[in-house]
Structures are given as structure tokens and as C-alpha cells.
Amino acid sequence: MKSLVVYSSLTGNTKMVGEAIAEVLAPECDIFPVEDNPDYSDYDLVVVGYWVDKGTADKKASAYLKSIKNSKVAVFATLGAEPETEHAQKSLQNGIDMLDSSNELMGKFICQGKIDPKLLEVMRKMFGTKVSKENFHAVDEKRLERHRRASTHPDAQDLANAKAVFAQIKAAMELNKNGRNE
């Protein structure tokens, strides 16, 4: 089974998860940054990973996701928020929803990724420290705490979780293929 992993990553979190996934899908697996715009057409499984930008897939990954047709696809993402939150689940679904209906979704995964401290500084300068309905991007203690919780991710457990999800996808696809060949 030939797999392709394509990741979009600004600060390395999504790349790290993509590399863990590629380990599981090896030996017949290629991995590329989205900037390389790899041709997906020769692969049995196309895996696309993105960093969450304002609740959805970042621009580069969005363009790649939308370009895929007639393929078996799995999607993963990293984001600052906890993966169990509604925001995280919506951010993953928004990426999946970009896929053309000619594709088949084989699986999905999302985990937390540390947030660049530079972003926090920019937000503090732009929005201050007092949160209100109109100013929900302000950097208050709650936001600082969220950043602290994200700062250790992706951790060993996240990578193990990602590997487990993709090991299952691989096993299911190989079983299916062998079944058809009999």
C-alpha cells in the first residue's frame, strides 16, 4: 500500500505529527511539505495535515485539500485548543468539508500544538489584556493558561495516538486489498 503524507506547518507541530504518521505507513510512504505540491494520483492513501488557522485549515492546506479528487484521504490537524473541545472538532470538520465528494474519507486525527509565543505578543499588543464580548482575542489569564497547557504538545502521547489511528487505517486498507485479490 503506497501512502503519501502532505503537511502544512509553520512552526513544526504538524510536521512532527506527519512524520510520526509516515513512520507507521512506511515503508511505502512518501512525505512532503505542502509547498512541494506533490502529485497524489499514484497513491492508495493520501494523508493531509494542517495547522488550524482561525478555526479551519490554513490557506496552503486548504488549497491542497480542495485539489484532491477520486482518492482515499485521511485528514489530521494540530491546534492550540484542547482536541475534545467543540472548536477543535469543528476546526477538523471544516478541513474535511473541503474535500471533493469523489474522495473517500479513511480517517481523521487532531491534537494540540504549542502556540508560537510571538503570536501571543502580537495579540497582547493588538487587543490588550481585558476580554469582553467585542474583544475576545485579548490576552487575559485564561488565554495565558490555555497557552501554557498547549506548550508541551504535541507530546509523546499525541504521537502515539496519531500512530494508533493510522496503524488501524493501514490495517483496514490492507485487509480490504487482500480480500479483493483472493
Ligand X SMILES: Cc1cc2nc3c(=O)[nH]c(=O)nc-3n(C[C@H](O)[C@H](O)[C@H](O)COP(=O)(O)O)c2cc1C
Interface positions, 93-152, toward ligand X (CB under 6 A): 113-116, 119
Minimum distance, C-beta of residue 178 to ligand X, in the bound complex (Å): 35
Exposure class string for 89-119: b at 16+ Cβ within 10 A, else e: eebbebbbebbeeebeebbbbbbbbbbeeee
Burial of 121 (0-12, 13-18, 19+ CB in 10 A): exposed
- Tell me the number of residues near ligand X by CB under 6 A: 21
Contact status: 81 vs ligand X (CB under 6 A): yes
Segment near ligand X (CB under 6 A), from 72-80, 97-105, 134-142, 167-175?
72-80
Instruction: Tell me how far apart the terminal alpha carbons of the chain are, to the nearest angstrom.
Output: 16
Minimum distance, C-beta of residue 20 to ligand X, in the bound complex (Å): 13
Contact status: 161 vs ligand X (CB under 6 A): no
Assigned C-alpha cell, 13: 507541530
Contacts for 36 with CB less than 8 Å, ≥ 6 apart: 6
Nearest CB to ligand X, comparing residues 72 and 76: 76
Segment near ligand X (CB under 6 A), from 12-20, 38-46, 64-72, 123-131?
12-20
**List 25, 74, 75, 80, residue binding ligand X (CB under 6 A):** 80
Q: Are strands 56-57 and 104-112 parallel, antiparallel or unpaired?
A: unpaired
For ligand X, the binding residues (CB under 6 A) are: 9-15, 51-55, 78-81, 113-116, 119
